[in-house]
Amino acid sequence: MQSYAFRLKFSRRVLGAAAIVALIAPFLLHSPPLPAQTRDRVVNLYSARHYSSDQDLYDSFTRQTGIKINQIQAGDEALLERLRSEGKASPADVVLLADAARLWKAQSEGLFQPTRSEVLKTMIPPTYQADQLWFGFTTRARIIVFDPARVKPGQVQRYEDLASAALKGMVCTRSGTHPYMLSLLASIIAHQGEQKAEAWAKGVVANLARSPRGGDTDQIKGVISGECAVALTNSYYLVRMLKSPKAEEREAAAKLGMVWPNQASTGTHINVSGGGVARYAPHPEEARKFLEFLASPSAQAQLANGNNEWPVVRNVQINNPELTQLGPFKSEQLPVSVIGKHQGLAARIIDRSGWR
Ligand code: FE
C-alpha cells in the first residue's frame, strides 16, 4: 500500500493503472482464499519423464477431472535433490522416477507418503507395488545386444554368460554404479545370492572391452562401431534406435543380434518407471486421483508408447510394431521392493568389483 500512496502523487494515469494492478494482482500473484470446492484443484508433478506425448496425457487428466497439472521436469537425481532440499516446504504432490533403484532411494529417504487406493491396489500387479508408497506404471526389460559377426547367439543367452571367459575383451556396459546396473545386480543377488552375484560382477569387469562410459545407447553404438561385441541395454533404447529418423541408425540397429536373457531360468530382468505421492504433498487427494488416472487403460497405453515400454496393467493394448516385433519373452517375476532392498549390497559389490 505504501507504494500506491507514493504513486498517487504523480498522475491520475498511474493511479488508474495502480488501481487495476491492485484489483488483479491477487489473481496473478497470491490467490485469495477460495471456497473449498474450487480450491486446490491442482497437482504439482515432479517428473523425470520428458516425452512430448506426456503433455497430451496430462491434458486429458485435466479435461476429465478439472484438476490442473503443474509440471516440473528434471533428471531423476536433480528431482531427488530438490525434494531433499525443499523438505516440508516442498510443493511436490506426485513424484515420477525411472527405475526401482531410484524409487527405492526416494522411499528409503522418506520422500513418499502412503497412498491407500483400491483402484491402484486392484489395477497394478502386486509385483509392481512397493508398500503402498510407490507404484510401477510402465515396465522395461534389460536385454543383451550383440554383433552377430563376432558372437553366436548361443554364447549370450544368459546374464551369467557376460562373465564367461569366452567373452574376454568383448563386453560393454555403462557404469556399474548406475541405477540400471544396480537393479540388475540386485535381481541377481535375489536369485543367486551374494557370492554368485559378486563373482558375476567381477567376471563382467574382467571381460570389459573398455572402461564403462556413457549411457545404454552408447553401449549399443559401441557394438555397431565394433568397439564392443556384446552390450547390456534397456529395451526401449534399442527400440528407439529401430525407429530412428536417421536411416543409417535404423539399419545398423536392425543388423544387431538381440537376446531376451535367462529364458530358461528366472526370465529377463524387468524394471519399472513409476511414482508415488510426495511426503509433504499439499494436495494428496488430487495426487491420488492422478496416480489412479495413470493406471487407467488409455493412460497406460499412452505412458508405455511414449517411451517404448509396456503397460503394467493387464490387457492394455499397445501400438508399437518395432517393440512387438522383438517377440514375446518370459519376464522375471520379482517384486520391485525386493530389487529395492538389495540396492545397498549391490552398491557394495559394484564397489568391490571396481565396476566404475
Ligand atoms: Fe533410461
Nearest of 163, 185, 231 to residue 345 by alpha carbon: 185
Q: CA 129 to CA 116: how far, in whole Å? A: 12
Domains for the chain: give ranges and CATH numbers.
38-139+271-319 (3.40.190.10), 140-269+336-353 (3.40.190.10)
Å from CA of 273 to ligand 1 middle = 9
The alpha carbon of 322 and the centre of ligand 1 are apart by a number of angstroms equal to 18
pLDDT per residue rounded down to tens, the chain (356 residues): 333 333 333 344 434 444 444 443 433 434 444 444 456 799 999 999 888 888 999 999 999 999 999 999 999 999 999 999 999 999 999 999 999 999 999 999 999 999 999 999 999 999 999 999 999 999 999 999 999 999 999 999 999 999 999 999 999 999 999 999 999 999 999 999 999 999 999 999 999 999 999 999 999 999 999 999 999 999 999 999 999 999 999 999 999 999 999 999 999 999 999 999 999 999 999 999 999 999 999 999 999 999 999 999 999 999 999 999 999 999 999 999 999 999 999 999 999 999 99
- Residue 12 has which C-alpha cell? 491520475
Cα of 234 to ligand 1 centre, how many Å?
Answer: 7
- Please report, to the nearest 10 degrees, the dihedral formed by the alpha carbons of residues 223, 228, 233, 239 taken in order: 0
Centre of ligand 1 to C-alpha 103, Å, is 14
Q: Rounded to two decimals, what is the model's pTM?
A: 0.88
The residues pairing with 43 across neighbouring beta strands, listed in sequence order, are: 69
- Cα dihedral: 200, 129, 327, 238 (round 10): -60
Q: Hey, how many other C-beta atoms are within 10 angstroms of the C-beta on 330?
A: 13
Ligand 1 centre to CA of 272 (Å) is: 10
